[in-house]
């Protein structure tokens, strides 16, 4: 693959981003923090206007989108604080050491710098929180990387309106021209991703498109990192004792998690494993009484969900717990009510092809397992990677003191191996935006499971380390200076310590 | 690409590694630390035996290899301390927070876990420090990942002997079977890299082979991270004032850095930019008086270096400063004395094709630049990524107070953009093994410039984050428990703080 010339319009976009890179990288963290907060404020001020466009374009409810704007603003503000804290720079200072174990060592100091221009492919299902100014964009800008957003085709007008608000706020906050630009069209996104001036990509969407883009990023003459958050079926394991203790609570939590946002969430629980003969299906039927019809994001997603749902219902041994359905209106929009089905483990194994793939919409599958099933072994049998895995335990089981504790520990271990987040007695939807959050997981949950797209660690994706050896103070980045003008955490390795390395473990 | 069956022998190797993964991951950090120190001790005890094989197979001197064994042992001991310190786990605890800005937040705790089995392709030019038990292997084992080393074909006997020593030490230290295995042959390495049970790859070697393997890793059905350290020409910029101040010191340092280990180091300075008419060539000729002939690692490397050297000498405008040469003995081994040439910037530009590519051996090019040349702009003109970039400044320039300070700052900035380590008044060879070290850099210096293969951060390549939400203490990894039995650093996000996020930057 050689680099082809961009269209004049895209060339201007990429050239502006490239020109902005050194200027943006040189802005102080407090200035970037101020700009992020300005964007947050501006989005909240424009909420009514933006949400009006969003409900029309996406079919998501006003309440949901209002909440999403707040979440988006909170994400931007969290990164403002992250920037000023400076821990994300992982600043390290090794003082020169004449007594170093391998002969005199120089002064070495290491910090993280921005990668350069990044393209972010935004998502359909979070028109604010994973779109134009969502978490990926916030972490790219926080890192000091010029951002090019490829708008999702599902909400082009909202994308333009959001971009207008954000661009004005960034400019007013003194950020250089070219730090943020919006483009439309899949081919335009691919062309930009291939450009040698682009240094990383981010993406939230389907496995198919994510893989396509990841392959493009990896096969460039100079490969770049590509952070894609793709598909997940988010298995849930519910013990018999948990059901005995609180069947109604679990049933209603499950239904809410499956039905919320019409099931169009990457963390929707796609499977729940329960004991054969459990009362959970009954409790679910009771909990599901008043479920409303919800428009799916766009006709393509609706059609695809309708097909997946039909295929699943046609698989052998499948019994509807809540039948649900999809109704198409004159504009081709699909309106869904939740579907929950039950199937025995044997039939699940037999119908694996039809059943196991993600159904993006309000549908979930109860798998009824015989007593004595090795649950830990089920995980690798059916899934590669997932964003989340959930356990519902009884109060006694949660103490780790019950007879089945070893079995439960093995299941937690198996989940840890295959997911990015292990939950207890909760539901995977509603990802908290906090410092310890991990929104990622082994392929195909993501293209890169050492990273997260939610939480403060998300900024690390767009930075790389540089060390300075024996640098005079005048030429050191501020974060590495002895007088520490930014007040960032600095990990100091003093002289003389190397001779004790490993001594505590000498035989 | 679908997965093909491995040969019975390789299948056994990979199956053993996969079976060892959960057991090894469950070992305590202190136990792994003890095992690493045991390997270090065993290598030092076997030094004479191993170095004897090494000198014969690689042509490197006894002094150099003795030093390398010590370095290898120090690396292992450094990782022992890294493990017990526990900072590399980046343990984070967000307490549950009913007042969270987006509604009640659960308790979320995040830690890093080992990826699983890793294959490490070892290097030719560091038969200890980047080979069977070198830095990559040490960081893989420290991370808790079963290790399969693909031996370099340049020192198969030493690889076997080292593996025997290491395996015995690991077993004696109680590590599970299958945590460390050695294989031979490039195809065997490729086959193992393709196996779905392998979760990451590491590599030190040429751009060609590194890219081949990186492409294999990226195009697997489930892609995996591949950490390749490839080629670098390590540009050096020497100011006129630095030469005026200490020409002899610079000349002798330069010659030593180019000639050491017969120039077969990834950090050898391949280019030095100096002012036209400088006395440096003269000083280099004086410094080079007694340079000895040195055997190159193997006949293939010797032949390739000989060809590169001839092509460079044949380029227009090239003037030898030290002629040097390569002599072939009856066994096909090449014996080299250092070659240093000078060329004007104009001729360098004209001869770019022939001159700019890495010459793996004792050869370096002085590029003589006219006064007023924009040095910062030269970097992107000639190079993509490099491991290092070096500046030699005068004492006055180092204060940042001279007339050319802005120009020098721009050059430092340009170097930061294209290298992993920026050095001042030193030489890039001799990479210190310390916490702040960064041995990496943009493509083609590495396949992944967000990582380092030297220094304690190297362990991060083989870990991924997992978060636990509302996990009962009994099911939490030790590093995340409130009573912190491992005594690792835990970053705590208390309840209530989210409402102040960004407040400092509110307009």
pLDDT digits (tens, 9 = 90+) for A64-103: 999 999 999 999 999 999 999 999 999 999 999 999 988 8
Q: Distance from A86 to chain B by nearest Cα, in Å?
A: 13
Selecting from B77, B443, B503 the residue whose C-beta is nearest the C-beta of A501 gives B77
In contact, B471 and A424? CB cutoff 8 Å: yes
Neighbours of A303 (CB within 10 A): 15
In contact, B274 and B243? CB cutoff 8 Å: yes
Selecting from B101, B225, B384 the residue whose C-beta is nearest the C-beta of A450 gives B225
Interface membership of B81 toward A (CB under 8 Å): yes
Q: What is the pLDDT of residues A16-67, one digit of tens each?
A: 999 999 999 999 999 999 999 999 999 999 999 999 999 999 999 999 999 9
Q: Please answer yes or no on whether A436 and B93 come within 8 Å at the CB atom.
A: yes
The first and second tokens of residue A442, run together, are 């082994």
How far does Cα B21 stand from its chain's mean position? Answer: 25
Q: Which residue of B has its CA nearest to A73?
A: B502
Q: Distance from B477 to chain A by nearest Cα, in Å?
A: 10
- Tens-binned pLDDT, residue by residue, of chain B (507 aa): 445 789 999 999 999 999 999 999 999 999 999 999 999 999 999 999 999 999 999 999 999 999 999 999 999 999 999 999 999 999 999 999 999 988 899 999 999 999 999 999 999 999 999 999 999 999 999 999 999 999 999 999 999 999 999 999 999 999 999 999 999 999 999 999 999 999 999 999 999 999 999 999 999 999 999 999 998 999 999 999 999 999 999 999 999 999 999 999 999 999 999 999 999 999 999 998 878 899 999 999 999 999 999 999 999 999 999 999 999 999 999 999 999 999 999 999 999 988 998 999 999 999 999 999 999 998 888 888 999 999 999 999 999 999 999 999 999 999 999 999 999 999 999 899 999 999 999 999 999 999 999 999 999 999 999 999 999 999 999 999 999 999 999 999 999 888 888 888 876
Domains recognised in chain A with CATH numbers: 9-230+451-463 (3.40.605.10), 235-424 (3.40.309.10)
Q: What is the dihedral of CA B309, B313, B317, B322, to 10 degrees?
A: 90
β pairing state of A463-469 and A108-114: antiparallel
Q: Distance from A321 to chain B by nearest Cα, in Å?
A: 29
Contacts of A126 (CB under 8 A, 6+ apart): A68, A134, A204
Q: What is the pLDDT of residue B507?
A: 64
- Tell me the C-alpha distance between A275 and A372, whole Å: 10
Q: What is the pLDDT of residue B498?
A: 85
Q: Please answer yes or no on whether B425 and A470 come within 8 Å at the CB atom.
A: yes
The angle subtended at Cα B496 by Cα B495 and Cα B500, nearest 5°, is: 135
* Catalytic annotation, pick one of A57, A229, A358, A368: A229
Q: How far is CA A18 from each of CA A160, A187, A280, A481, B391, rounded to the nearest angstrom?
A: 22, 20, 56, 28, 25
* Interface ipTM above 0.85: yes
* Catalytic annotation, pick one of B57, B229, B358, B368: B229
DSSP string over B138-155: HHHHHHT--EEEE--TTS
Q: Distance from B269 to chain A by nearest Cα, in Å?
A: 15
Q: Which residue has the tokens 């030593």?
A: B256
Bridge partners of residue A120, in order along the sequence: A149, A202
- Tell me the C-alpha distance between A408 and A419, whole Å: 16
The first and second tokens of residue A95, run together, are 């003082």
> Which residues in chain A have Cβ-Cβ distances shorter than 8 Å to B506?
37, 41
Contacting B residues, span 362-421, partner chain A, CB-CB under 8 Å: 384-385, 391, 393, 398-401, 405, 408-409, 412-413, 416-417, 419-421
Interface membership of A76 toward B (CB under 8 Å): yes
Q: Distance from A437 to chain B by nearest Cα, in Å?
A: 6
Q: What is the pLDDT of residue B1?
A: 42
Contacts of B301 (CB under 8 A, 6+ apart): B124, B154, B264, B334, B360, B361
In contact, B364 and B254? CB cutoff 8 Å: yes
Neighbours of B99 (CB within 10 A): 12
Q: What is the pLDDT of residues A206-220, one digit of tens each?
A: 999 999 999 999 999
In contact, B312 and B284? CB cutoff 8 Å: no
Gyration radius of chain B's alpha carbons: 25
Interface membership of A433 toward B (CB under 8 Å): yes
* Residue B62 annotated as catalytic: no
pTM of the model: 0.96
Q: Please answer yes or no on whether A92 and B435 come within 8 Å at the CB atom.
A: yes
> How many Cα atoms occupy the beta-carbon half-sphere of A315 within 13 Å?
26
**Is residue A380 over pLDDT 90?**
no
Q: What is the pLDDT of residues A270-300, one digit of tens each?
A: 999 999 999 999 999 999 887 889 999 999 9
Q: Which residue of A has its CA nearest to B393?
A: A472
Q: Please answer yes or no on whether A426 and B106 come within 8 Å at the CB atom.
A: yes
Q: Please answer yes or no on whether B109 and A436 come within 8 Å at the CB atom.
A: yes
Taking all residues of chain A, what is their mean pLDDT, rounded to a whole number?
A: 95
Q: Please answer yes or no on whether B38 and A432 come within 8 Å at the CB atom.
A: no
- Tell me the C-alpha distance between A100 and A79, whole Å: 38
β pairing state of A200-204 and A118-121: parallel
Bridge partners of residue A367, in order along the sequence: A273, A343
DSSP string over A267-317: T---EEEEETT-SHHHHHHHHTTTPPPEE-S-HHHHHHHHHHHHHHHHSTT
Task: List the one residue out of B128, B149, B153 whose CA is nearest residue B42.
Answer: B128
Secondary structure class of B378 (helix, strand, coil): helix
* Residue A323 annotated as catalytic: no
Q: What is the pLDDT of residue A2?
A: 47
């Amino acid at each position: 693959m050689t680099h082809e010339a961009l269209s004049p319009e895209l060339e201007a976009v990429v050239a502006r981003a490239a020109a902005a890179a050194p200027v943006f990288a040189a802005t102080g963290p407090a200035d970037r923090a101020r700009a992020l907060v300005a964007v947050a404020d501006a989005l909240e001020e424009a909420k009514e206007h933006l949400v009006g466009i969003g409900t029309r374009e996406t079919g998501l409810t006003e309440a949901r989108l209002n909440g999403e704007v707040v979440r988006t603003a909170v994400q931007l503000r969290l990164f403002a604080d992250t920037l000023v804290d400076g821990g994300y720079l992982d600043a390290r200072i090794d003082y020169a050491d004449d007594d170093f174990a391998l002969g005199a060592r120089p002064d070495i100091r290491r910090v993280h710098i921005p990668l350069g221009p990044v393209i972010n492919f935004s998502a359909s299902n979070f028109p604010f929180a994973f779109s134009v100014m969502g978490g990926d964009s916030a972490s790219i800008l926080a890192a000091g990387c010029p951002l090019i957003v490829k708008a999702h085709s599902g909400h082009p007008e909202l994308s333009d309106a959001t971009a207008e608000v954000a661009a004005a706020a960034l400019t007013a906050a003194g950020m250089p021209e070219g730090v943020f630009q919006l483009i439309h069209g899949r081919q335009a996104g691919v062309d930009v991703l291939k450009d040698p001036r682009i240094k990383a990509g981010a993406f939230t969407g389907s496995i198919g498109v994510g893989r396509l883009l990841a392959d493009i990023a990896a096969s460039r003459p100079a490969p770049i990192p590509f952070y894609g958050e793709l598909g997940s079926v988010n298995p849930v394991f519910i013990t018999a004792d948990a059901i005995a203790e609180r069947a109604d609570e679990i049933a209603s939590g499950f239904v809410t998690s499956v039905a919320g946002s019409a099931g169009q969430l990457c963390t929707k629980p796609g499977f729940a494993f329960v004991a054969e003969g459990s009362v959970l299906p009954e409790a679910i039927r009771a909990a599901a009484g008043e479920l409303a019809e919800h428009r799916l994001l766009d006709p393509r997603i609706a059609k695809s969900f309708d097909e997946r749902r039909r295929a699943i219902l046609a698989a052998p041994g499948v019994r509807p717990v809540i039948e649900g359905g999809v109704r198409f209106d004159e504009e081709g929009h699909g309106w869904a009510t939740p579907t929950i089905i039950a199937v025995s483990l044997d039939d699940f194994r037999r119908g694996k092809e039809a059943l196991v793939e993600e159904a993006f919409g309000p549908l979930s599958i109860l798998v009824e397992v015989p007593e004595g099933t090795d649950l830990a072994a089920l995980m690798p049998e059916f899934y590669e990677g997932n964003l989340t895995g959930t356990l519902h335990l009884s109060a006694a089981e949660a103490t780790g003191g019950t007879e089945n504790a070893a079995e439960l520990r093995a299941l937690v271990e198996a989940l840890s191996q295959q997911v990015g987040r292990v939950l207890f007695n909760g539901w995977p939807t509603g990802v908290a935006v906090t410092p310890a959050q991990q929104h990622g997981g082994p392929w195909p949950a993501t293209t890169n499971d050492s990273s997260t797209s939610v939480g403060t660690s998300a900024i690390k994706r767009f930075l790389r380390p540089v060390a300075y050896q024996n640098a005079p103070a005048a030429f050191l980045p501020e974060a590495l200076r002895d007088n520490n003008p930014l007040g960032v955490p600095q990990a100091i390795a003093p002289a003389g310590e190397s001779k004790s390395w490993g001594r505590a473990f000498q035989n």
